[in-house]
Amino acid sequence: MQRATMDLWVGVFVMAGIGALLVLALKVGNMGTYSAADSYTLIGNFENIGGLKVRAPVKSAGVVVGRVADIQFSTETFDALVTMSIDSRYKFPKDTFASILTSGLIGEQYIGLAAGGDDAVLKGGDKIMKTNSAMVLEELIGRFLFDKASENKSSDTDLSGTSGKK
Amino acid sequence: MPSRIVAGIRGIGHRVVDSVWRLGYASRFFMLTLLKSGTSLRRFGLIIREVYFTGVLSLIIIIVSGLFVGMVLGLQGYETLQKYGAESAVGTMVALSLVRELGPVVAALLFASRAGSAITAEIGLMKATEQLAAMEMMAVDPIARVVAPRFWAGVISMPFLAAMFSAVGVFGGYMVAVVLIGVDEGSFWSQMQGAVDFRYDIVNGIIKTCVFGVAVTAIAVFEGYDASPTAEGVSGATTRTVVTSSLAILGLDFILTSFMFRGMS
C-alpha cells in the first residue's frame, strides 16, 4: 500500500478516536452540563446527612448549581461536615438555607439551597449557617408511632375518666 | 509407590520453575522493548504503518460489535427496567456499563483476537523464516526495528478503538431504546448525563484501555518473538497469545475495577 494512503487512513482513525472521546465526554458524560473548572466551595454542618453521597447534586429552585465535593465527620461539633463545590456563575446571600432533600419517595438525596435576603454574598470557603438535616424514615415512623401511642393513652384516660364520672 | 509421588512432586516443581523462568524472560523482554523503542519513536513512520495494520483494520469489527452490544444492552435494559417503571434509566444503564466495563473489556478482547494474533503470527513467521536472524546479521536490532513499533502501535490504537466501541454502543442503545421502543429522548440523554461522571467513569475507562493495550500487545510481541521457529510453533504461539491476553484482560479488569470503583455510589 502507498505510504500516503496509509497516513491518510491512520489520520482518519486517530481523528475518529478523538471524536469518540469527545462524544463520550460531552454527550454521554457531564462535561457539557457542568464543569468543575470554575467553582467555589461552601461548607455546611448537618446534624444528619441521611444517605447523601459525594457527587450528589446541589440544587436551588430545582436547578443544579453544584455538587457535593466531600463529606466528613467533624469531631469538634460531632456532626457531618459537607463541602459543596458551587458553579461560580451562581452567588448566594449570606443567610442562605441549606437542607438535605430527597427526589421522589425513594430517590437519591441532594442538597437544596434556598436563598435568603441578605445583601452580602457567600464567598469561597464560607460556611452556611442555617442547615436542615435529612429526613430519616425510621425517626419519622418512630415519632409517628409515639404520637399515636400517646394519643391512644390520653383517649383511654379520657374514657376511664368519663366512665368514672358515670 | 513413593517414587511415583516423588515424580509427581518433581513434575509440579518443574512446571513452577519453568513458568517463573518464562515470566522473568517475558519481563526482561518487555523492559528491553521499552529501552529500545527510542529508535522507533524517532522513525514515527514505522509506528504509523503498524497503527494502520492493528488499528485501522480492526475498525470494522470494533464498530459492528459495539453497535450490537449497545443494541442488546438497550433491549435487555428496557426489559428489566420497565418492570419497575424506570425505563427512562435505560440510557444510564447502557452508558455506564459500556464506559466502565464492556467498552474497555470487549474492545480489548476483540483487539487481542484480531490484532494480537496477527502480531504474534507475523513476528513468529519472521523468526521461522530467519528474517530476524538476517536483520541481526545486518546489525539491525530486530527488537528496535520489528518489536517496538508493533508494541507502540497497539498501545496507541487500543484507547481509540475502545472509545469508538463505547460511543457506537451508546448510539446503538439510543437506536433501540428511543427510536425503536420509544423511550423519551430527553430523559434518556439527561439521566445519562446526570449519572456518568467524566472523571470517575470516562477517565477510569480510558486508564483501563491503556493498561489493556499495554498488556495485550506486550503478550503478543513476546509470544511471537519466543515462538519455536516451526509452523507448529507459530500456531501454538498464536493460540497462546489469544488465551493468555484474554485471561490477562479479565484478571486485570477485576483488579482495576476493585481499585477504581471501591466505595463508589
Q: What's the ipTM?
A: 0.79
Q: Do A20 and B163 touch (CB under 8 A)?
A: yes
Closest to B99 (Cβ–Cβ): which among A10, A24, A31? Answer: A24
Q: Do A6 and B48 touch (CB under 8 A)?
A: yes
Question: Quick one: DSSP state of residue B196?
Answer: -
Share of chain B above pLDDT 90, in %: 70
pLDDT at B68: 96
CA angle B200, A109, A39 (to 5 degrees): 55
- pTM, 2 dp: 0.75
B88 in a domain, yes or no?
yes
Distance in angstroms (rounded) separating the CA atoms of residues A43 and A80: 10
Answer whether residue B85 is part of any domain.
yes
Q: Which residues of A touch B198 (CB under 8 A)?
A: 25, 29-31
Taking chain A, what is the end-to-end CA distance rounded to the nearest angstrom?
111
Q: What is the pLDDT of residues A127-148, one digit of tens each?
A: 888 888 877 778 888 888 888 8
Residue tagged 482518519 (cell numbers):
A12
CB B178 within 8 A of CB B119: no
**Rounded alpha-carbon distances, angstroms, from residue A25 to A58, A135, B208:** 21, 35, 16
Q: Compare A35 and A43 and report the one with higher pLDDT.
A: A43
B214: nearest Cα among B33, B23, B41: B33
Cell 523462568 sits on residue: B21
Is B29 inside any structural domain? no
Using only the alpha carbons of chain B, give its radius of gyration: 22
Q: What is the reported pLDDT for A155?
A: 65
The pLDDT assigned to B216 comes to: 95
Percent of chain A residues past pLDDT 90, beyond the cut: 5
Judge whether residue B255 has pLDDT over 90. yes
Is B215 a domain residue?
Answer: yes
Question: Would you call B86 an interface residue with chain A, using a CB distance cutoff of 8 Å?
Answer: no
In a domain, B23, yes or no: no
Which residue, among B63, B93, B98, B164, would best test binding to A if mutated, counting the most A CBs under 10 Å from its CB?
Answer: B164
Question: Is pLDDT of A86 > 60?
Answer: yes
Residue of B nearest to A53 (CA): B265
Q: Do B202 and A53 touch (CB under 8 A)?
A: no
State the pLDDT confidence band at A164, using cuts at 50, 70 and 90. very low
Which of A116-125, B67-76, B218-227, B233-242 is predicted with the least confidence, judged by mean pLDDT?
A116-125
In the predicted structure, residue B9 carries a pLDDT above the cut 90? yes
* Residue B165 included in any domain: yes
Using CB atoms, which residue from A6, A17, A32 is nearest to B52?
A6
For residue B180, being part of any structural domain is answered with yes
Give the nearest partner residue to A23 out of B157, B167, B198, using CB atoms. Answer: B167
pLDDT tens digits for A10-32?
899 999 999 998 888 888 876 65
Domain presence at residue B152: yes
- Averaged pLDDT of chain B: 91
> CA–CA separation, B81 vs B93, rounded Å?
9
Its domain, for residue B50, covers 36-260
CB atoms under 10 Å from CB of A103, counted, come to: 14
Q: How far is CA A103 from CA A58, A130, B3, B89, in A?
A: 12, 21, 72, 15
Q: Is the pLDDT of residue A37 over 80?
A: no
What are B196-205's pLDDT values in tens digits?
888 888 999 9
CA-based nearest residue to B253, from B74, B109, B65, B114: B109
- Confidence bin at A163 (pLDDT 50/70/90): very low
Q: Please give the pLDDT value at position A129.
A: 83
Is the pLDDT at B124 greater than 50? The verdict is yes
Least confident stretch, A64-73, B3-12, B53-62: A64-73
Measured on CA atoms in the order B174, B81, A32, B208, is the torsion positive or negative? negative
* Contacting residues of A for B196, CB less than 8 Å apart: 28-30
Separation in Å, CA of A72 to nearest CA in chain B: 15
- The number of distinct structural domains making up chain B is 1
DSSP assignment of A84-97, as one string? EEEETT---BTT-E
User: CB count, 10 Å around CB of A7?
Assistant: 15
Q: Which of A24, A52, A54 to mutate to test the interface with B (most CBs of B within 10 A)?
A: A24
CA separation, residue A77 to residues A44, A45, B95 (Å) = 12, 9, 41
